[in-house]
Amino acid sequence: MKKEILLLVSMVFSIKVALAQFGDCDCSDPLNKDLKDNSVTYNSREVKNWFYRYFSAKEVERRKIKKESKSEWGMDFVIDAIPIGFSSDAQSSQDNNFYRQIEREVKNEGYFSDKQLELIITNKFSTNQLTAYTTCIKACIEDRRNRNGVLLTIDGNPDDIFYFKVVFNNTAGKEFLTLEEDIRYTNCEPIDGNIFKKGMSIKNGQSKIQCFKKTNKEKDAILTLNFTDGVTIDPIVIKSQKNKDNLVPVGTIVATILDFNTFCRVNKIDPDLTKTSWLPCDGRTIPTDCIYAESGASNTPDLRGVFLRGTNIMYSNNLGAGIIKPQQLNYETKLAGEFQNESFKKHKHDNGARLESGTNKKFQKFGYLETEQQVKGFAYANTWVDHNTGWTEEVGGDETRPKNISVFYYIKIR
């Protein structure tokens, strides 16, 4: 039965792109009652963040994390079913093994994937529920397609080469469909020339296919078609499926004890310096096609041998910020990424008092008290001593620094 459920779920997700064109379908009725009035956002970053935290956490922390889930996700019945612990006495053996496998994958891979989310959700669906759901979706698509006869589908690798298929199957007697203008495409290029040109016709019952290659794998691609005779189609968005480290914003700097190749290997990141999503913070030139370059930067920050320090202004002239303590301020008001050299805070020392006599090396000793009768006066030692004014011996190191440990700094560029 589990195999049948997974097969049905894969069917649901395989027609998700097509369904996005026909957003007026409601197929929630066959699903669990907790889903009827809620929209499950399978690709929600917030939802996946929660699951990642839950399966990465220790057992003692999971109860608190469960309370932080949100009812608007529409997944209460799924989250409630996940045990706090995955020991054999906490759940049935089958469920125990299932959740323990998810836990191992999350900890090994370092992120929570769409596939893992599908598995957890379908673990609570029955085969009949999913059969009814997929049947409803297919019927909805077919109904909408028959209104204008057009069905658009995307298949292939959405981050590399994918194909775009237009099917015309009109039941209202229309013989062909004609393009009003050339297809418009963003962040992708047609392979072997563009066939979707102005005036191209698709006969009833036929289809046309065009292959495209994504230009920038980190950005969405968009296809726009306009037909004659009032047939309107919403723009088709081919979303990037890269999700390994999408949870980390571009420009983030991390400190790690792993060298770059090890960092990439254990985190399953492409180590090719022309393609990787992370680069060492050593002032190197960055690829011009990465998202980080859009900030105007041409190099990574050079953090070799330096500490990090917060800027005085964190947001828009400190609008909404709290009152900063004077001793916290950087008095040179450095910008983010700007280097600041070492310095001692200005200060002074009391060098004491002395009486000097002679022209070079002599000074007279201070008075001292010899007896109680001399309290109101001083006795003096009328002797002269040598006063050498040479340098003391150097002590200390070559720099001023706090206790520290050396780390590697890497920055997210894609």
pLDDT of residue 15: 39
Contact 193, 211 (CB under 8 A): no
Decide if 352 is inside a domain: no
Co-location of 291 and 408 in the same domain: yes
Domain with residue 230: its CATH number is 2.60.40.10
204 and 320 assigned to the same domain: no
230 and 247 together in one domain: no
pLDDT, residue 408, reads 93
Same domain, 107 and 167: no
What six digits make up the tokens of 316? 């828009």
Q: Please give the residue range of the domain that contains residue 281.
A: 243-341+404-413
The Cα–Cα gap between 97 and 92 comes to 9
253 and 204 assigned to the same domain: no
Distance separating alpha carbons of residues 405 and 91, to the nearest angstrom: 44
Q: Which of 54, 49, 33 is nearest to 99 (CA)?
A: 54
Answer whether residue 397 is part of any domain. no
Pick the last residue of a domain from 186, 204, 238: 238
Query: Is 337 part of any domain?
Result: yes
Asked, for residue 328, whether it belongs to a domain, the answer is yes
Residue 90: what pLDDT? 43
Sequence-distant (6+) residues with CB within 8 A of 220 are: 187, 237, 238, 239, 240
The domain tally of the chain equals 3
Query: Which among 223, 238, 253 is the end of a domain?
Result: 238
Task: List, run by run, the mean pLDDT of 10-residue segments along the chain (414 residues).
Answer: 44 40 48 43 65 88 82 67 68 69 84 77 61 60 59 81 85 82 94 91 88 87 86 81 68 92 86 90 91 89 88 78 82 81 77 54 52 52 56 78 87 92
Per DSSP, what are the bridge partners of residue 412?
A: 278
Inside any domain, residue 154: yes
Q: Which of 109, 133, 157 is the last residue of a domain?
A: 133
Nearest to 166 by CA among 246, 254, 227, 89: 227
Mark whether 36 and 96 lie in a shared domain: yes
Q: Is residue 370 part of a domain?
A: no
- CA-to-CA dists, residue 67 to 9, 52, 107, angstroms: 28, 15, 22
Q: Which two tokens stand for residue 410?
A: 């890497």
User: Considering the domain boundaries, does residue 283 fall inside one?
Assistant: yes
The confidence score (pLDDT) of residue 388 equals: 58
- Separation of alpha carbons 20 and 131, rounded Å: 20
Same domain (yes/no): 126, 39: yes
Q: What is the pTM assigned to this prediction?
A: 0.38
Same domain? For 301 and 408 the reply is yes
**153 and 31 in one domain?**
no
Q: Is residue 201 part of a domain?
A: yes
Give the pLDDT of residue 64.
87
Assess whether 221 and 234 both reside in one domain.
yes
The owner of tokens 């006869």 is: 149
Tokens of 367: 């008075």
Distance set, CA 181 to CA 70, 103, 226, 232, 377 (Å): 46, 51, 6, 13, 111
CB 202 within 8 A of CB 180: no
Pair 223, 276 in one domain:
no
Q: Are residues 33 and 116 in the same domain?
A: yes
The angle subtended at Cα 195 by Cα 192 and Cα 198, nearest 5°, is 145
